[in-house]
Amino acid sequence: MDKQLEMLKDLTDVNGVAGFEHAVKQKAKSYLEPLSDEIIEDNLGGVYGKKNAKDGSKTILIGGHLDEIGFMVTEIDDNGFLKFTPIGGWWNQVMLSQRMHITTGEGKVITGVIGSKPPHVLSPEERKKPVEIKDMFIDIGVASKDEVLEAGIELGDMVTPASEFEEMTNKNYLLAKAWDNRYGVALSIDVMKNLEKEDININLVSGATVQEEVGLRGAKVAANKVKPDLAIAVDVGLAMDTPGMKSSNGTGDLGKGPLVLLLDGSNIGHVPFRKHVLAVAKDKDIPVQLQVIPGGGTDAGSFHVSNEGVPSLAIGVPVRYMHSNVSIMHKEDYQNAVKLVTEVVKSLNDDKVDEIIW
Tens of pLDDT along 251-272?
899 999 999 999 999 999 999 9
Contact 63, 49 (CB under 8 A): no
Give the pLDDT confidence score for residue 246 in this predicted structure. 78
- Contacts of residue 53, Cβ cutoff 8 Å, sequence gap at least 6: 200, 201, 202, 203, 204
Instruction: Decide the pairing of beta strands 173-176 and 166-167.
Output: antiparallel
* CA distances in angstroms from 166 to 9, 181, 342, 348, 357, listed in the order given: 8, 16, 26, 36, 42
Contact 176, 167 (CB under 8 A): no
Contact 76, 155 (CB under 8 A): yes
344: burial class by Cβ within 10 Å (0-12, 13-18, 19+)?
buried
Options 212, 213, 308, 343, the catalytic residue? 212
Give the pLDDT confidence score for residue 3 in this predicted structure. 95
**3 state SS of 134:** helix
Sites in the chain below the pLDDT cut of 70: none
**3 state SS of 63:** strand
Residue type, 264: D
**3 state SS of 11:** helix
Active-site residue, 308 included: no
253: burial class by Cβ within 10 Å (0-12, 13-18, 19+)?
middle
pTM for this model (two decimals) = 0.96
Distance between CA 341 and CA 234 in Å, rounded? 9
Distance between CA 62 and CA 195 in Å, rounded? 13
- How many angstroms separate the first and last alpha carbons of the chain? 46
Give the pLDDT confidence score for residue 234 in this predicted structure. 98
